[in-house]
Amino acid sequence: MGCFHSKSPKHTPGYEEPVILAAETLFSVSEVEALYELYKKISSSITDDGLIHKEEFQLALFRNRNKRNLFADRVFDIFDYKRNGVIEFGEFVRSLGIFHPNASVADKVSFAFRVYDLRSTGFIEREELREMVLALLHESDVVLSEEYIEMIVNKTFDDADKKGDGKIDLDEWKEFVSQNPSLIKNMTLPYLKDITLAFPSFVVRSEVEDSDL
């Protein structure tokens, strides 16, 4: 029986090597390491178990752990692609990669579709769209009449549901976004262009030089 001593520092559960994550995303190794510092900060904000729970995600977004928000819930669930109720580091980096300014538009369009496809049926249905508008009104304290809500939901469906079957599929969504590119503007985070410059407090000494890769 041998005795194994790891020289690696203790990492959070679900930790993945920055070299691997950098190879799979648009981030450099040092940027992944900077994201790890951010990840550790968020994941230890309430429960210090090294995993991002939904309350911690909400706290980071809203400075309020109890603020429920339909869209934050959807984004959390999509980041948590392993569906184990927490965002692991690899999920965090790969998902944020879609928000990189240089990430493909197709990935951004697909991600936005999944946010709006509330019940994961593969379609955005009229009732889901109405539900999202109502949730947003509740969030913003804006008051709109029932008639106005019906009008914008119907108008949107008239424009997007080209097949006229009462639901918007991914192809219809892609077409609709191509005509309304502002719909995915929140799918790009300029911060990610060079996170090590934007957030010098996150920069740590890289164990692997990017130039070595």
Partner 1 sequence: PFYNAFEFISSMSSGFDLSNLFESG
Contacting residues toward partner 1, per CB under 8 A: 37-38, 41-42, 45, 60-62, 69-75, 96, 99, 112, 115-116, 129, 132-133, 136, 139-140, 142, 151-153, 155-156, 159-160, 176, 180, 182-186, 189, 191, 195, 198-199, 201-202
Judged by beta carbon, residue 41 or residue 162, the one nearer partner 1 is: 41
User: Shortest Cβ distance from residue 167 to partner 1 (Å)?
Assistant: 14
CA distance 96 to 21: 11
Judged by beta carbon, residue 81 or residue 99, the one nearer partner 1 is: 99
CA distance 37 to 204: 8
User: Shortest Cβ distance from residue 5 to partner 1 (Å)?
Assistant: 33
CA distance 112 to 165: 21
Judged by beta carbon, residue 23 or residue 47, the one nearer partner 1 is: 47
User: Shortest Cβ distance from residue 150 to partner 1 (Å)?
Assistant: 10
User: Shortest Cβ distance from residue 64 to partner 1 (Å)?
Assistant: 11
Judged by beta carbon, residue 69 or residue 206, the one nearer partner 1 is: 69
User: Shortest Cβ distance from residue 162 to partner 1 (Å)?
Assistant: 15
